[in-house]
Amino acid sequence: MIKNESMERFVVSGITLDEREAKVTIKKVPDEPGTAGFIFTQLAKANINVDMIIQSSTKQGKNDISFTIKEENLEDTRRAMEKIGKKLEMEEIIYDSDMAKVSLIGAGMQSHPGVAARMFTCIGKKKINIDMISTSEIKISCVVRKNEGKKAVRAIHQEFELDKEEDFET
């Protein structure tokens, strides 16, 4: 068995932390074609850039939709959501500006099974709850409480042995 330490470094090349995130959750919107398109078109018209989006599974013809935005756009988002709420049936809108996004970045993650599992497990061992998850071929992002963002970054650095890097700062 050969272990290639440099390959591990290639798979995971860095971690980012953004403590300026906010999460918006729209409860019980109609599960109908065009609903998500309408919501996100209206947000785009209000010049609001949406990052992560999660839609729950259908429950009695309704869905919950959560998404993240930059914290600085929260008031503009509230105004846009008020307009959306006048045209779209929904139960409530929840705003949470106490969020941070931690992202694990690496070019080879897609072809190396278990990277996400290791990330989620090491965060869980630190008793940090993951609120949202998003993945791509080169990045895994988790939304956590703002006050736990740095703790999550340290745990991930240790798990992937990036804490040996000289330029690591908190």
In whole angstroms, give the CA distance from residue 134 to residue 99: 15
Of the chain, the percentage scoring pLDDT greater than 90 comes to 70
Per-residue pLDDT tens digits for 14-23 = 899 999 999 9
Does the pLDDT of residue 167 top 60, yes or no? no
Is domain 21-97 in CATH 3.30.70.260, yes or no?
A: yes
- pLDDT digits 0-9 by tens, 22-52: 999 999 999 999 999 999 999 999 999 999 9
Q: pLDDT digit string (tens) for 127-144?
A: 999 999 998 888 999 999
Please indicate whether the domains covering 5-18+99-159 and 21-97 agree at the CATH topology level. Answer: yes
Structural domain boundaries in the chain: 5-18+99-159, 21-97
- pLDDT class for 166, splitting at 50, 70, 90? very low
Query: What number does CATH give the domain 5-18+99-159?
Result: 3.30.70.260
pLDDT tens readout for residues 104-126: 998 877 777 888 999 999 999 99
Note if the pTM is more than 0.75.
yes
